[in-house]
Amino acid sequence: MLDTLHRIVQEVNAARGLKHALGIIVRRVAEAMNVDVCSVYLLDQEAGEYVLMATLGLNPDAVGKVRLQPHEGLVGLVGERAEPINLDNADQHPRFRYFPETGEERFHAFLGVPIIHFRQVLGVLVVQQQAARQFDDDEVAFLMTMAAQLSGAIAHSELSGGIDGLRDDGLPHNSGLQAIPGAPGVAIGRALVVYASADLNAVPDRRSDDPEQEEAAFLAAVQAVREEVRRLADSLAGAIPAEEQLLFDTYLRLLDGSSLVGETLNLIRQGNWAPGALRQTIDKYIRAFTEMEDPYLSERASDIRDIGRRLLMRLQKDSGDQREIPPNTILVGYEISASQLVEIPRDRLVGIMSVRGSGNSHVAILARAMGVPAVMGVGKLPIGRLEGKQLIVDGYAGRVYIQPSPTIRQEYRRLIREEAALTAELRRLRDLPAVTPDGVRVRLYANTGLVADLNSSREVGCDGVGLHRTEFPFMIRDRFPGEEEQATIYRQVLQAFAPLPVVLRTLDIGGDKPLPYFPITEENPFLGWRGIRLTLDHPEIFLTQLRGMLRADIGLGNLRVMFPMISNLDEVEQAMALLQRARDELQDEGMPVTMPPVGVMIEVPAALFQLEDLLRRVDFVSVGTNDLTQYLLAVDRNNPRVGKLYDDLHPAVLRALAMLIRTVQGQGKPISVCGSMAGDPAGALLLIALGVNDLSMSAASILRVKRVVRSVPYRQMQELLAQALTMQTPAQVRALMNAALEEAGLGSLVRAGL
């Protein structure tokens, strides 16, 4: 049964759209279970009815016409109980109801299981048989497993616009697609799909203006891979068993045969570019081999997949991505990297849509820093079909519209005009201090990382840089930058803000920030080799960076150095020793460097319970609420499945911050917050009430937070904090804060979109 289940899921995942997928489900399940009927009923969320969406065995004319209220019939009972119903004589059950147009009155045996996604019943999967009998435990388990496997795909379709949400091309209609807010704002533009090297699944369809050139590129790739396979086979001859050597013969037959190559060429001649045509052909062959009953032949699907990757890598190597970046580009990808993002000219990028990630993944943080609206965690969307399509990205509500209707476009254009008016109004605050109506001064610093951040941060009148992410120059190169390069980059940042303070955080890679030339593969990267752990293990990298920082500060004196991901005292002492060594070496070389103030990021729970010892070793601390929240709540902030559990207004987070801030203030050391919470109007109010007067955030958030600070008295902030600390859920805290902002006339700062 496991092999059967695997083949069905593979086939469904390759379906063109929801209707095609449901047709596959009912046909394959009926075959696997040897039943007379298999049907899928989906819950129409808007109408509140179960609708027969696909069937094998009932009258096909009834599809889309049969509708049941949630309290009606056995289907409604399955949904109501959210558990299987297994009956040998369904027609004798008091909830039995049949529709004459289906012809189901002659079927007695009934097994229905709920299709559930994240606690929500999306529909019911039903099998029926004419003979009266109970389905056995194995059959019930198979159908339940089938429903669970399919729930994600069906949920995506539901969120894409209800039961009729997918067109034949698999794209949602105008009701929009729910996602996770990544960066605030609204954007209207056209999709530019980016994908990782050799990721066939992510290759978009794209019309080619020059089929002959695409054909030549593909044939060159085929020839290059043939030669590569032959060389590999020759080098391993005699070193591996004969049966393993046959694998290379299989590869060469695939590349020499007319089927795979010929079908790809036909698709190119029909107008698709070479990578898109290759993806279509490989998908077809993988499905064909996966469906074969013979285990040996079924396993050949992996060979087809490997050949496809090799051909794609060669195409990418030979041609690269030569697309022109049009105005109003919305960058779309399964998982967008920092290097892909910064390659797009800022004046042409208006929005970001990522299938993976959450509101606090690295690309979302970067989008906020750039002031680009973004949505994350969109789900299993066929992004290969989005190239060039018009999109609307709502970074407030976390919503995406694909090929939106004129009405929706008009409404969002109105929202964009309102946003522009708000931005113009906020600009008037640029030169005014962030002081509450009752006289409490708050300093607002910028989080930076890109050269483009420097200008935007100065334009909004920040008090300095509370966090400069030094990893970006590392991420966009194909090697580690040298000392001279780093010194030049850091000097540019320090000079731009002198004499205001600038906090340079040492290299913080790992987790969701890999380097392409220094790959790190781990089961759990967020609990692995990242931040200070990595740089201490590579002192040659760390010392080069520290020397670059100290050299950049010569004659300026506004440098602050901060170490990330500190979890024990030894890390601080070792990092300090390397910093002192870098200073001593440079002084010995005749450079007039000085020791800057040194701080640590508090983002690991262990640091909360060593605060007093840490504070004796450093000059200041900065709280990274993104990671601290992630670790306190045990929620991977890049995982959309648990994205709703991530909330920095969680009572546990607020109480941990209260304890932390009391301890730091008791030691008389400066404390700031540089996580996303600082740039959230609601979070900023609570942090100020807790006693944090230094907040660091993206440039796009500074004037919004300044508006809040200048509008809400400190006394009222403390009253809100007292109420928040007594609450039991994040939703209660957020509702309290949003109501307070609305009452103060600041609701437009946290607008929820359409």
Q: What is the pLDDT of residues 471-485, one digit of tens each?
A: 888 877 778 899 999
CATH topology of domain 182-194+327-421: Glucose Oxidase; domain 1 (3.50.30)
Find all residues with CB under 8 Å of 444, minimum gap 6, and list them. 434, 462, 463, 695, 696, 697, 702, 705, 706, 709
Which SS3 state, helix, strand or coil, does residue 501 take? Answer: coil
CA distance linking residue 569 with residue 226, whole number of Å: 56
Superfamily designation of domain 200-319: PtsI, HPr-binding domain (1.10.274.10)
Count CA atoms closer than 13 A to 608's CA, side-chain side.
19
DSSP string for 153-176 = HHHHHHHTTSTT-B-TTS-B-TT-
Express each pLDDT in 129-157 by its tens digit: 999 999 999 999 999 988 887 787 666 55
Q: Which residue has the tokens 């289906």?
A: 102
CA distance linking residue 300 with residue 292, whole number of Å: 10
Q: For this structure, is 362 an active site residue?
A: yes
Q: For this structure, is 71 an active site residue?
A: no
Q: Where in the chain is the domain with CATH 3.30.450.40?
A: 2-159
Segments in the chain below pLDDT 70? 1-3, 6, 10, 13-17, 153-176, 196-198, 232, 235-248, 257-258, 290-300, 318-323, 338-339, 342, 359-360, 379-380, 382, 452, 511-512, 516, 640, 751-754
Which CATH number is associated with domain 422-746?
3.20.20.60
Strand order across the 49-56 sheet: 67-68, 49-56, 37-44, 120-129, 109-117, 85-87
Q: Where in the chain is the domain with CATH 1.10.274.10?
A: 200-319
Question: Would the pTM of this model clear 0.75, i.e. be above it?
Answer: no
Q: Which of 117, 156, 650, 674 is catalytic?
A: 674
CA distance linking residue 660 with residue 612, whole number of Å: 10
Three-class DSSP labels, 409-466: HHHHHHHHHHHHHHHHHHHCCCCCCCECCCCCECEEEEEECCHHHHHHHHHCCCCCEE
Largest CA distance in the chain: 96
CA distance linking residue 180 with residue 396, whole number of Å: 9
Chain center to CA of 496: 32
Express each pLDDT in 197-231 by its tens digit: 667 777 878 888 888 889 998 999 888 888 877 87
pLDDT of residue 454: 83
pLDDT of residue 180: 83
Q: Where in the chain is the domain with CATH 3.50.30.10?
A: 182-194+327-421
Q: Where in the chain is the domain with CATH 3.20.20.60?
A: 422-746
First to last CA, the chain: 45
Residue pair 470/447 in contact (Cβ under 8 Å)? The answer is no
Residue pair 659/610 in contact (Cβ under 8 Å)? The answer is no
Query: 10 Å Cβ neighbour count for 725?
Result: 15
Task: Give me the amino acid identity at 33.
Answer: M
Query: 10 Å Cβ neighbour count for 321?
Result: 11
Find all residues with CB under 8 Å of 357, minimum gap 6, and list them. 180, 182, 335, 336, 363, 364, 376, 377, 512, 638, 640
Q: Which of 117, 362, 468, 650 is catalytic?
A: 362
Which SS3 state, helix, strand or coil, does residue 39 take? Answer: strand
Residue pair 679/669 in contact (Cβ under 8 Å)? The answer is no
Write the class of the CATH domain 2-159: alpha beta
Which SS3 state, helix, strand or coil, does residue 220 take? Answer: helix
pLDDT of residue 168: 43
Task: Give me the amino acid identity at 348.
Answer: R
pLDDT of residue 477: 76
CA distance linking residue 640 with residue 73, whole number of Å: 35
Residue pair 187/48 in contact (Cβ under 8 Å)? The answer is no
Residue 292: which H helix or E strand, with range?
A: none
Count CA atoms closer than 13 A to 441's CA, side-chain side.
4
Cα angle vertex 146, ends 141, 149, to 5°? 125
CA distance linking residue 129 with residue 502, whole number of Å: 73
CA distance linking residue 298 with residue 319, whole number of Å: 33
pLDDT of residue 190: 94
pLDDT of residue 380: 64
Residue pair 633/612 in contact (Cβ under 8 Å)? The answer is no
